Structure 1
Amino acid sequence: MAARCSKARSAKSHPRTCLRALRIFNGALKRYLTGWRGYFGFCETPSVLQRLDEWVRRRTRCFFWKQWRRGSTRLRELLARGVDRNLAVQTAGSPHNAWRLSNSPALQRALTNRLLRSLGLPTLNI
């Protein structure tokens, strides 16, 4: 129940169609996730926190994909982040939606967990 409420709240403060800069990580989402981790951090089911953490990272990758908008921009960003050219071309030209592509190998290589942490996205794992 609490994880469902957290996803709903996180989705409100972090809409995938919102094209603002990454100030969102320093704002409401970061405060909310940090507080949520502090409150539920010592739960007896750490797998719930792990799944929620995976969902937040996937949602963040979806946010980036939507922000890049056009295929040429997506290709340029993927190549700049070290994705193989063939995989980048295939992913940038894909007809699939942003949520499905946010779990693709290309986006996971381009937007690693380390990069997301460096941008200020807190982790829920303790």
Structure 2
Amino acid sequence: MAHISKVKYLGYTFYRCKGKCRFRVHQKSVAKMKNRIRELTDRNKGISNAEREKKYQEYVRGWVEYFRLADMKGLLKTTDEWARRRIRAVYWKQWKKIKTKYRMLKALGMEHWRAKELVCSRKGYWRMAKVLNQIFSKKIIAKLGYTSMLDYYLVVCEN
């Protein structure tokens, strides 16, 4: 016997809302999911972008399908922002040379002076991924094939 908020069952935890029992994803399941995304978007891993995208898609779809009964809109929104930043860091690292970085930023529609400024920056990959947020947007990352967890959840959710 335990209080309903202390129970973990199949990765879910429970809570009460307006007299009804609702599902939520347990903290341990969230931590495992983040660690798996961390592995898939590791910028030191020597796999192609197509392979990375395929594995990411498979994992996101499987995870969201399994936990689709849970209330997790806020969780998925913050996780998506974090995962997109990791993806931007991967691409920034792959554009090793200044010339390549400049060419890719210009292709994404950035002005000459701003692209020059970013290319010559000595900031780390994680910091540059934050700076690239406006130009390397959610739409572009979706075009590359990385599905948003929140968008997929809203399609399949049963709540």
Of the candidates 95, 98, 101, which is equivalent to residue 125 of structure 2? Answer: 98
Compare 74-83 and 11-20 and name the one that shifted more.
11-20
- Secondary structure at 1:66 match in 2: helix
Which protein has the larger Cα radius of gyration, Structure 1 or Structure 2? 2
Would the aligned equivalents of 1:62 and 1:98 in 2 still touch at CA under 8 Å? yes
Counterpart position of 1:15: 42
Counterpart contact for 1:83–1:110, Cα < 8 Å:
yes
Shift of 1:19: 4.9
2:144 to 101, 119, 125: 119
Give 1 or 2: higher strand fraction.
Answer: 2
Structure 2 residue ranges without an equivalent (≥5):
1-26, 155-159
Q: Deviations over 1:74-115 (max 9, x none)?
A: 1111011101112111111111100111011xx224322112
Distance 2:109 2:46 in 1: 23
Given the two structures, how large is their TM-score scaled by the length of structure 2? 0.70
Residue type of the partner of 1:79?
K
SS of the counterpart of 2:133? Answer: helix
d(CA) in 1 for partners of 2:91, 2:46 = 9
Size of the aligned set, in residue pairs, is 123
Structure with greater helix share of residues: 1
TM-score normalized by the length of structure 1: 0.87
1-structure distance, mates of 2:46, 2:133: 20
Contact 1:19 1:67 in 2 (8 A): no
Higher relative contact order structure (alpha carbons within 8 Å, sequence separation ≥ 6):
1
1:84 and 2:85 are equivalent in the alignment: no
2-side partners of 1:48 and 1:103: how far apart? 20
Alpha-carbon separation, structure 2, partners of 1:62 and 1:14 = 9
What is the match of residue 93 of structure 2?
66
